[in-house]
Structure formats: structure tokens, C-alpha cells
């Protein structure tokens, strides 16, 4: 009986951790933080939720710092980076078309980052410069900061 009880506890902990990590990977940070806090409260001896919550908080603090400081790229350097953007940097997507795997032609429209909508932006291509990249302890997924204008 004791063995099955500990197996059940382990199974619940593993399932809970996977669900919360999925929330994190999907960038549902509030849901992940609340879940880690709830899990830690239910079983204070289980250290993983506390550690995961702290790791996520550290990641979000670093991300906020990069966003507030435009990746620590200074004004003149940022202007030079953006001034060097050319449509030719889009490679095969620069002519406004893309040929899909089954041979169909897809029309592409270049748009600024500010015009993107949450979810899939079909037929959209963006051009910008990466200012920073940020990883977590798991190394996947990674986050990067992209800019296409000084705004």
C-alpha cells in the first residue's frame, strides 16, 4: 500500500509539473506562476514547484530588463542596425512570394511588427534585427527580441 501511495504521489507530481511547464512554454506565465505557487502550497516538501517558480520569475525579470532597455543596444547603434535593413535580407521571401512544399504559390505581404496579430499571421513576412536572445534553464524554448523600427 505504501508503495502504491508513493507511486500515485509521484505520478501526480510529474503530471502537474508537465502541465505547468506547458503553460510556461506557451507563454502563459501568470498561469504557470499561479500553478507553481498552488503546487508548492499543496505539498511544501516538494521543492520542484518552488524552484520552477523562482526560475520563471528570474527569467521574467531578465526579459523585462531587456525589453525596457531595447536589449541594451544604444540609440546610435540601434539606428545603424535598422538603417542597414534591406529587402534583400529576406532572401527567397523578398519578392513577395513563397512556393509551398506542394508547389502552390503563397502571396506574402511585408508588415511591421506592430501590425501582427496574436496567433498565425498567414501570408505575412517581417524584416527586423534581433536585439537579444534569452534562454531558460531548460534551454528550450528560447525568447528573442526583434525590432523593426525605433518606436
Q: What's the per-residue H, E or C state across the chain? A: CHHHHHHHHHHHHHHHHHHHHHHHHCCCHHHHHHHHHHHHHHCCCCCHHHHHHHHHHHHHHHHHHHHHCHHHCCHHHHHHHHHCCCHHHHHHHCCCEEECCCCCEEECEECCHHHCCCCCCCCEECCCEEEEEEECCCCCCEEEEEECCCC
Q: Which of 13, 48, 68 is the last residue of a domain?
A: 68
Q: Are residues 46 and 96 in the same domain?
A: no
Instruction: Look at the chain and report how many structural domains it folds into.
Output: 2
Tell me, yes or no, whether 64 and 127 share the same domain. no
User: Which range marks the domain in which residue 44 is found?
Assistant: 3-68
Residue 151 pLDDT: 59
Confidence (pLDDT) at 64:
92
Give the pLDDT confidence score for residue 62 in this predicted structure: 92
- Looking at the structure, do residues 128 and 93 belong to the same domain, yes or no? yes
Residue at a domain's end among 68, 92, 107: 68
pLDDT at 11: 42
Residues in the chain predicted with pLDDT less than 50, given as ranges, are 1-12, 15
Same domain, 101 and 129: yes
What is residue 7's predicted lDDT score, i.e. its pLDDT? 46
Instruction: Kindly report the average pLDDT of the chain as a whole number.
Output: 82
In terms of domains, do 108 and 93 share one? yes
Same domain, 58 and 103: no
pLDDT at 57: 92
pLDDT value at residue 132: 92
- The pLDDT assigned to 35 comes to 87
User: What pLDDT does 101 receive?
Assistant: 84
143 and 75 fall within a common domain: yes
Same domain, 50 and 82: no
Out of 68, 91, 108, a domain closes at 68
Looking at residue 127, what is its pLDDT?
Answer: 93
Amino acid at each position: 500500500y505504501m508503495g502504491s501511495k508513493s507511486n500515485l504521489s509521484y505520478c501526480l507530481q510529474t503530471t502537474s509539473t508537465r502541465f505547468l511547464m506547458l503553460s510556461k512554454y506557451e507563454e502563459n506565465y501568470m498561469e504557470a506562476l499561479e500553478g507553481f505557487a498552488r503546487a508548492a502550497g499543496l505539498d511544501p516538501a516538494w521543492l520542484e514547484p518552488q524552484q520552477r517558480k523562482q526560475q520563471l520569475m528570474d527569467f521574467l525579470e531578465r526579459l523585462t530588463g531587456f525589453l525596457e532597455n531595447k536589449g541594451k543596444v544604444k540609440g546610435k547603434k540601434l539606428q545603424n542596425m535598422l538603417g542597414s535593413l534591406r529587402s534583400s535580407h529576406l532572401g527567397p521571401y523578398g519578392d513577395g512570394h513563397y512556393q509551398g512544399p506542394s508547389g502552390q504559390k503563397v502571396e506574402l505581404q511585408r508588415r511591421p511588427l506592430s501590425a501582427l496579430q496574436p496567433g498565425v499571421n498567414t501570408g505575412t513576412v517581417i524584416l527586423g534585427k534581433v536585439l537579444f536572445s534569452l534562454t531558460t534553464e531548460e534551454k528550450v524554448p528560447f525568447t528573442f527580441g526583434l525590432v523593426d523600427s525605433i518606436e
